[in-house]
Chain A
């Protein structure tokens, strides 16, 4: 009985508006999920690039220091 009374008060426009509201709502849910993941993915990518840079710089500095050490030792031998 209640449902028939309610349905009698609802127009086709109301239903269309409600569907549009739910669709828009769903769209923003998707954006929210993507944004939450995206921020974390960007942070992980930043960490990965920093890791690579650090390893590269440490390796090149160590190689440079070894070279200098070898040059010093050669000089002392001569």
Chain B
């Protein structure tokens, strides 16, 4: 039953994304930036997916420290991995947009730098987990790192409001930006599709983490024979 729901959610996300690609292709080029502007339809949803995933990791890490229940540790690592995948997608699509618009792949402005720091923090979290063998110690240290890493999320989000950056000013939830309503609707559907994908990925990874725990306990049992 659980698997069927996951397949259905994944299928729904795929259908929405396929439909959106068709709609995006039919949109006219943006007046100033041309076709490259349309990358925003995948760039922003990647960040929303990443934000939702690392926020889940934060909640799971706090809950682990309170309850010491390993299911929360598994949820934290599952959602962090998904978050890193979406962060990577956001950074790559951003760079591919920057090249034709700015003429450069990368610049050390506040938004891009804080994003890279955030990505490094979460990759560091995943590396830390490989470095510690004892499960309780690993889960506790990882939870603390995850909570500290999340401090970077609001700094990254507000960087384009706090500082004058080369990165464009905020388009959404801002008085300075504007986005046509029909374009906004496609963006909304794409964000929904990415959130569905993130939820499916986290659920699948969570099952794998539980399978990994089963494998670890079987190994211990094999050693005790």
Contacts and interface: CB of A to CB of B under 8 A. Distances in A.
B215 to A, nearest CB: 5
B38 A29 contact: yes
Given A26-B35, A33-B21, A39 B92 contact: yes
Contact of B89 (A22, A35, A54, A64): A35
Contacts of B15: none
Q: Interface range on chain B: under 10, 10 to 19, 20 to 34, or 35 or more?
A: 35 or more
B208 A51 contact: yes
Contacts of A36: 42-43, 46, 89, 92-93
B36 interface: yes
Contacts of B82: 43
B125 interface: no
A35 B96 contact: yes
Interface string B205-225: 100100110110011011001
A54 B215 contact: yes
A31 B99 CA distance: 11
Contacts of A47: 201, 204-205, 208
Nearest to B45: A36
B88 interface: yes
A25 interface: yes
Interface in B87-143: 88-89, 92-93, 96-97, 99-100
B81 to A, nearest CB: 8
A31 B93 CA distance: 8
Contacts of B93: 32, 35-36
A68 interface: yes
Contacts of B99: 28
A1 to B, nearest CB: 22
Interface of A: 21-22, 24-26, 28-29, 31-33, 35-36, 39-40, 43-44, 47, 50-51, 54-55, 57-58, 61-62, 64-65, 68
Interface of B: 21, 29, 33-36, 38-39, 42-43, 46, 82, 85, 88-89, 92-93, 96-97, 99-100, 197, 201, 204-205, 208, 211-212, 214-215, 218-219, 221-222, 225
